[in-house]
């Protein structure tokens, strides 16, 4: 693993920046960093001495809860509506970085009513509420108006998962285009392979079970016995249950409930009930980075077909946060690009993934057929970058500038000393430009931050084997 220094503050004391960003993404001049917009509005409200402080908390059924504050203008002020929307943006970031089925609000009754209407009636709010409530936690989503003194206490339930290297284990990862499996003995990879598959097209849950089991058996053939199995996959997993995952998007809802939700419990039973743990792939990526770096307080970001993320706390533990930063807002511009799934604007996926590089090639003047898939567009962009095309450089500088501002925002929500960057967008010279430009933003906006975070990059072998070992290490032997 290679490391380079650049920015990270313990906790989230918000600096009050200038009203305009010091650096602008060259191909996206309308980009309005959410970090900057929220801090500027809070400063404006406090300066009037007529506004109100708002306390927020997002809580999970399992006991974790996180607190934040925001500020709103008083009734009748011309900026009241904008300040209410800013609170909703803050709540959205909380929901998608932490996850929770209940949003507590200590603020004006009109604000509580505004947020209740948003989650009940607005399409983007209904998406958030439907995912966070019934889909993820199996309960209705609620907005609760209450005094801050009645909020659940701020606490984060850590998961004692990972770093268990004893015995004979299988680690697997399920991606959209391939599935990986590795045989690991006392922390050493003795076999690994990738097999291409296309799970999104298949509606039969048994097909998914058979394909995953095939990879497990192929890895098991290289072990004297199998003591435990650990795995990762894109999506949301709680207590080894599939709560939401794009891999199964073609499976009808009734079959999802009866077969897919408990798919890994079914596989565990088929393997004799041995310890079997499955978590989000971003979490395993962060765990792998933490194990390679020998450090905690690490946020992993993978810029691939989407934006994946995972976090390991200062003690090196995975937490109960969901870290779905693809849906977390980073751009406050009114015409920010739309996320095709949630329908919301300014979400991370449109800035830190193949969707970002694909949409920026046009503004850069790089002609590409409209039917060209995003992975192929990225290959063309990388080829142009390698050939020294300045238009390709502009694409990566745009991504890097946006990412620098998003990183300032992330630092307010994560105790963050280390940043691990992966994914195909980060491959090659373009990845170097993204890091260079992000560091320039940190230096320009918060020089102290630029001294404190360490950037990490993993080479291909470390990514492949580190992920396998981290996944395999998830279960603790009985």
Residue 10 pLDDT greater than 60, yes or no: no
Give the pLDDT mean for 33-41. 95
178-189: per-residue pLDDT in tens? 899 999 999 999
Name the token pair of 446.
């918060």
Separation between Cα atoms, residue 2 and residue 403, nearest integer Å: 20
2-13+290-466 and 168-226+228-274 in the same fold: yes
Helices (H), 361-427: 374-386, 390-413
Does domain 168-226+228-274 fall under CATH 3.30.420.40? My reply is yes
pLDDT, position 460: 61
DSSP for 155-213 reads: B--EE--S----SEEEEEEE-SSEEEEEEEETTEEEEEEEEE--GGG---HHHHHHHHH
Separation between Cα atoms, residue 108 and residue 75, nearest integer Å: 9
Residue 429 pLDDT greater than 60, yes or no: yes
With bands split at pLDDT 50, 70 and 90, how would you rate the model's confidence at 382? very high
Residue 18 pLDDT greater than 50, yes or no: no
- Crossing angle of helices 390-413/34-48, nearest 10°? 50
125-147: per-residue pLDDT in tens? 999 999 999 999 999 999 999 99
Give the pLDDT mean for 165-188. 93
pLDDT, position 73: 96
- Tell which residue, 92, 88, 18, 82, has the closest CA to residue 45: 82
94-130: per-residue pLDDT in tens? 999 999 999 999 999 999 999 999 999 999 999 999 9
CATH topology of domain 2-13+290-466: Nucleotidyltransferase; domain 5 (3.30.420)
204-223: per-residue pLDDT in tens? 999 999 999 999 999 999 99
Q: Domain residue spans in the chain? A: 2-13+290-466, 34-150, 168-226+228-274
Helices (H) and strands (E) in the chain, counts: 14, 18
More confident residue, 17 or 384: 384
With bands split at pLDDT 50, 70 and 90, how would you rate the model's confidence at 462? low
pLDDT, position 176: 80
Residue 6 pLDDT greater than 80, yes or no: no
More confident residue, 49 or 12: 49
Residue 398 pLDDT greater than 60, yes or no: yes
CB atoms within 10 A of CB 68: 19
């Amino acid at each position: 693993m290679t490391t380079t220094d650049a920015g990270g503050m313990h906790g989230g004391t918000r600096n009050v920046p200038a009203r305009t960003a010091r650096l602008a993404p060259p191909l996206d001049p309308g980009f309005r960093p959410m970090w900057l917009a929220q801090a500027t509005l809070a400063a404006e409200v406090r300066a009037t001495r007529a506004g109100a402080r708002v306390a927020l908390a997002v809580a999970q059924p399992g006991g974790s809860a996180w607190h934040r504050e925001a500020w709103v203008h008083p009734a009748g002020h011309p900026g009241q509506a904008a300040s209410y929307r800013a609170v909703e943006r803050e709540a959205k970031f909380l929901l998608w970085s932490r996850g929770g089925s209940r949003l507590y609000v200590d603020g004006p009754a009109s604000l509580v009513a505004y947020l209740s209407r948003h989650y009940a009636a607005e399409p983007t709010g209904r998406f958030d509420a439907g995912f966070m409530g019934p889909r993820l936690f199996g309960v209705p989503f609620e907005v609760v108006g209450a005094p801050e003194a009645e909020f659940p206490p701020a606490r984060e339930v850590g998961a004692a998962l990972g770093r268990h290297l004893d015995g004979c284990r299988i680690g697997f990862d399920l991606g959209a285009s391939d599935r990986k499996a590795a045989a690991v003995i006392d922390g050493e990879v003795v076999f690994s392979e990738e097999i291409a598959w296309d799970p999104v097209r298949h509606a039969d849950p048994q097909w998914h079970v058979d394909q995953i089991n095939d990879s497990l058996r192929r890895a098991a053939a290289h072990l004297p016995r199998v003591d435990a199995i650990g795995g990762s996959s894109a999506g949301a997993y709680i207590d080894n249950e599939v709560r939401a995952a794009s891999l199964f998007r073609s499976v009808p809802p009734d079959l999802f409930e009866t077969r897919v939700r408990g798919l890994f419990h079914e596989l565990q039973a088929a393997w004799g009930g041995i310890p079997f743990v499955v978590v989000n792939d971003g979490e395993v990526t962060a765990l792998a980075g933490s194990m390679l770096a020998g450090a905690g307080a690490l946020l992993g970001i993978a810029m691939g077909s989407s934006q994946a993320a995972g976090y390991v706390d200062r003690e090196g533990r995975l937490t109960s946060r969901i870290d779905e930063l693809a849906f977390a807002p980073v751009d406050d511009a009114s015409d920010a690009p739309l996320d095709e799934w949630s329908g919301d604007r300014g979400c991370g996926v449109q800035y830190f993934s193949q969707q970002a590089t694909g949409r920026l090639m046009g503004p850069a003047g790089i002609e590409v057929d409209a039917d060209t898939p995003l992975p192929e567009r990225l290959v063309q962009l990388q080829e142009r970058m390698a050939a020294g095309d300045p238009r390709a450089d502009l694409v990566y500088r745009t991504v890097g500038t946006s990412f620098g501002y998003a990183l300032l925002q992330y630092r307010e929500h994560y105790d963050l000393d280390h940043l691990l960057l992966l994914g195909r967008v980060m491959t090659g010279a373009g990845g170097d430009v993204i890091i260079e430009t992000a560091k320039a933003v940190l230096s320009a906006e918060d020089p102290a931050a630029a001294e404190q975070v360490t950037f990490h990059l993993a080479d291909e072998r470390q990514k492949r084997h580190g992920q396998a070992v981290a996944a395999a290490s998830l279960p603790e032997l009985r």
